[in-house]
Amino acid sequence: MAGWYWTRWPSREGLERDADSRPRRVLTALGRAVLLVTVCWGTFSAGAHTGWAVVVAVAGLAAAVGLSAGYLRAAREQRPALSFGLAAGLLGVAWLANWGQAFLLADVLWYGLAVTALIRLPPAPALLTAAAALGSYTAASWASWLSVVATVGGLALLGYLLRLDTEARGTARRLLAQERAARAAEAESAALAERARIAREIHDVLAHSLSAQLVHLEAARLMLDAGTDREQVRERVVAARRMAQDGLAETRQALSALRGEFTPVGEFLVELTGRERAVLSVTGTPRPLPAEAGLAVRRTAQEALTNVRKHAPGARCALELRYLPDAVELEVRNSRPGRGEPTGGLTDSGSGYGLLGMRERAELLGGTLLAGPDEGGWRVLLRVPA
């Protein structure tokens, strides 16, 4: 692990140009421009270069700029051979500049090479490059030893702090990318959950209203086949029409439920049991229920009564709504199916996913749903936190 650390490149994300803000990029560009102007002024203002020396100095300055740009890019792209080769070239140019009396240019090259090496190169070559650059400055400098020590120490500290800043920006950038990915996954999961919820609502509404219509229409067909009195057949058709109207009303209620608009559960069950000729009893102190819990109770009651119509026509049905301290329960019981009731193919209608949908709805809320035979009939018990 230690060996890997000394050869590990700094965070690529922290070195990318778009990792910096626009003001920071502008300040960086202005700083480089000011540095270039300062170096040019320091090199040519003293008048030490005349004639061909000026041409040589300009060529050396251009070479230094070109090598520096290539070195920075190669280090940012993490290309080892090119980075180390250009770093060695910059050291040579700095010594040539110092020999040609362009002392400011030489010092700037040594300073910049040491700092950028500590920022952009792996720790082992960074330390070697910084040591070579600062050692060259120390050997060529005519300043006092105290000034040299202060300069070398300050540059080393600056490079180390900038490296930490680069790593921190890279880490922040990676965390931001992970957070965005997590938010995208969360949004997709929420969309899928909402689609599942809408699918359950559509199933519940259609299963309740259409199966009720199917009961009466199938009975009317059987009556017609048996030659039953026309008035009785008409009553079945009128009942199917009424169920279609009720289905439209339930569809509107489902749309309101999806928008979070609910009628009280107690009122809904009173209307539902009145239409289905079922008995309703309420125990406990009625109270407003959370939206999802109330919707689960409504849909379970609808699905249970729909199953009674389909599988046990003519059976007596009773609903009991219990308000518990930390939950609400709905129990639906039906007796044996009545004799002589026309069933036809009703038991085969529907998708067969009603009971599964009710159980899934309850489990999503942290509740339970039990369904099974009960004294010759059927019992459904829903319990959800509320």
CB 123 within 8 A of CB 5: yes
| Residue 342 Cα distances to 88, 223, 301, 337, angstroms | 97, 9, 23, 11
- The tens place of each residue's pLDDT in the chain, 386 residues long, gives 445 657 777 777 666 655 456 776 777 777 777 767 776 676 666 555 555 566 776 777 788 888 888 888 888 888 888 988 898 888 888 888 888 777 788 888 888 888 888 888 888 888 898 999 888 889 888 888 898 889 889 988 988 898 888 888 888 888 888 888 888 888 788 767 767 766 666 666 666 667 777 777 877 888 888 877 888 888 878 877 877 776 776 666 666 665 655 668 888 899 888 888 899 999 999 888 887 888 889 888 988 888 887 788 888 899 999 999 999 999 999 988 765 554 443 343 343 446 777 888 888 889 999 988 888 888 999 999 98
Residue 375 Ramachandran class (φ > 0 left, ψ -120 to 50 alpha, else beta): left
Q: How far apart are CA 108 and CA 110, in angstroms?
A: 5
Nearest to 345 by CA among 304, 382, 303, 311: 311
Q: Among 248, 245, 251, 220, which Cα is nearest to 233's? A: 220
DSSP E strand boundaries for the chain: 279-283, 317-323, 327-334, 368-374, 377-385
**Pairing state of beta strands 327-334 and 368-374?**
unpaired
